[in-house]
């Protein structure tokens, strides 16, 4: 199935963005987790500005990739396939049915990490440490989802 030209351009643009975001996330993850990240290191972020910057980059890039996949690429791909515009949860369920996403529930749980990584960490180092550790453990899931979406988008061209 060939998508209209404007839709093809949008999908092509988004797949390039996703590729770049994955590379940036991989780099940020390497910077944070290359040495074993400990709770004690997170607890002392106030005195370790270099680590704080790396953690901030990781959390920002993780959230950005997730936003691009769920809020931009997935809806654009579904639209190119003739699906109607739907809410995120319905789109995720559709992605799971197509076999692109392993688990809608897992995706939703990862989306909830955002507040823990971005807002709640100011008050609770344990919350930040647990959220970052969970995010790191799920990078491969995001990458597999991205690969499936990119594969589908490429097939439409």
Residue 152 above 90 pLDDT? yes
Domain that holds residue 101: 5-154
Global confidence as pTM: 0.91
Provide the pLDDT for residue 114: 83
Query: How many structural domains compose the chain?
Result: 1
Q: What is the pLDDT of residues 76-106, one digit of tens each?
A: 999 999 999 899 999 999 999 999 999 999 9
Provide the pLDDT for residue 124: 86
How is residue 93 written in tokens?
């369920």
Query: Residue 22 is part of a domain; what is its CATH number?
Result: 1.20.120
Mean of the per-residue pLDDT values of the chain: 92
CA 20/CA 156 separation, integer angstroms: 21
CA 135/CA 150 separation, integer angstroms: 21
Give the H/E segment covering residue 133: helix 125-137
Region of residue 75 (phi > 0: left; psi between -120 and 50: alpha; otherwise: beta): alpha
CA 111/CA 119 separation, integer angstroms: 13
């Amino acid at each position: 199935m060939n998508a209209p030209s404007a839709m093809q351009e949008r999908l092509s643009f988004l797949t390039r963005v996703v590729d770049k975001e994955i590379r940036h996330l991989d780099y940020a993850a390497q910077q944070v987790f290359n040495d074993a990240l400990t709770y004690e290191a997170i607890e002392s972020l106030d005195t370790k500005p270099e680590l704080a910057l790396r953690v901030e980059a990781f959390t920002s890039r993780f959230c950005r990739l997730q936003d691009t996949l769920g809020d931009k690429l997935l809806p654009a791909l579904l639209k190119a396939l003739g699906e109607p515009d739907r809410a995120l949860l319905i789109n995720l369920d559709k992605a799971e049915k197509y076999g692109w996403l392993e688990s809608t529930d897992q995706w939703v749980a990862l989306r909830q990490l955002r507040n823990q990584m971005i807002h709640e960490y100011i008050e609770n180092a344990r919350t930040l440490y647990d959220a970052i550790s969970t995010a790191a453990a799920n990078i491969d899931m995001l990458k597999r989802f991205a690969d499936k979406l990119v594969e589908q988008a490429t097939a439409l061209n």
